[in-house]
Structure 1
Amino acid sequence: MDDFLGKTYVLYDSENFEDYLVYLGLSYIARKVAIRLNQSHILTKNEDGTYTFQFLSTMANSSVTFNPGEEFEEVKADGVKVKALIIFEGNKMIHTQTADDGKVSRHEREFFVDKMIVITTADGLDKTVKRYYKVEQQ
């Protein structure tokens, strides 16, 4: 994953994202705001060996710090607490979130030199969500 650290990945396209927001139970207005966010992601490695994954947007910022393979409590951007687990497999970061209501979401982020593709699936969601990011040139 070292090749992808510190890069800013900027969202430029999505498929079925609103369906996922409906699945999560977000209101109409919250969904419309979320869809229009100009979102960026940055993965960094900290001195203590942990990683931080940042979610940046014009409305709100959040981040998670984690040890790969160790479960942790995550507070998502919408304020919902979930149990989370992040593992690395090659150039993929697989992020599983389990909510108190039992809903499980899986975000598979595949990193490339110039882009990142996120594929989200969830138990009970009949569609696959795809989000496309490009590396912001520094």
Structure 2
Amino acid sequence: MSADEWCHTMDEFLGKQYVMVAHEHFDEYLVFLGLGYIYRKAAINLWPIHVLTRNEDGTYTFALKSKLASSSCTFKLGETFEETRADGVKVEALIILEGNVMRHTQIDSNGKISTHIREFYPDKLVVTTTAAGFDKTVTRVFNLVK
């Protein structure tokens, strides 16, 4: 599927806000990444809002926003870029969009590879995260903010 076909498919999800309502194995994943107790507890209790937008220059911006912390990245489809994760760590990232799915791969300086699959639906967003060397699958569910 070409980027133009994908854009047409994803248009209904662009600019919509999705708020996190549930998560499973997220704390264990943050431990795997090496984050400290206080940061992990804060991250788990943020309940962020997720927004994906397309910019005038054809790039996309993916943002997670909460009252205490926010992060965003701007990217071109299928091109590797440097991203700063919400925890401040710089990673090499690649985002591919196909149908209603956004595949986001991150590689940190220690070689840890994480893949976040975001599946957009009219009423929710489901994020599934896996990582090489991590034996669980993280699931986060976001509901559409109406």
Please report the TM-score for the alignment, with normalisation by the length of structure 2: 0.92
Equivalent of residue 98 in structure 2, options 77, 81, 89? 89
Equivalent of residue 50 in structure 1, options 56, 59, 71? 59
Task: Give, as a single letter, the amino acid of the residue that structure 1 aligns with 2:19.
Answer: V
The yes-or-no answer on 1:98 pairing with 2:107 is yes
Task: Give, as a single letter, the amino acid of the residue that structure 2 aligns with 1:28.
Answer: Y
Distance in structure 2 (CA, Å) of the matches to 1:40 and 1:9: 5
The yes-or-no answer on 1:72 pairing with 2:92 is no
- Report the 3-state secondary structure (helix = DSSP H, G, I; strand = E; otherwise coil) of the residue aligned with 2:12: helix
1:11-50 correspondence runs (5 A): 11-50=20-59
Match of 1:109 in 2: 118
Match of 1:133 in 2: 142
Distance in structure 2 (CA, Å) of the matches to 1:32 and 1:61: 16
CA RMSD of aligned residues (A): 0.6
Distance in structure 1 (CA, Å) of the matches to 2:74 and 2:42: 25
Q: Which runs of 5+ in 1 are unaligned?
A: none
Equivalent of residue 69 in structure 2, options 49, 57, 60? 60
Q: Which runs of 5+ in 2 are unaligned?
A: 1-9
Moved over 6 A (4+): none
Task: Give, as a single letter, the amino acid of the residue that structure 2 aligns with 1:125.
Answer: F
Paired residues of 1:37 and 1:57 also in contact (CA < 8 A): yes
Paired residues of 1:10 and 1:40 also in contact (CA < 8 A): yes
Task: Give, as a single letter, the amino acid of the residue that structure 1 aligns with 2:95.
Answer: I
Identical pairs, percent? 59
Match of 2:5 in 1: none
Paired residues of 1:38 and 1:58 also in contact (CA < 8 A): no
Task: Give, as a single letter, the amino acid of the residue that structure 2 aligns with 1:127.
Answer: K
Please report the TM-score for the alignment, with normalisation by the length of structure 1: 0.98
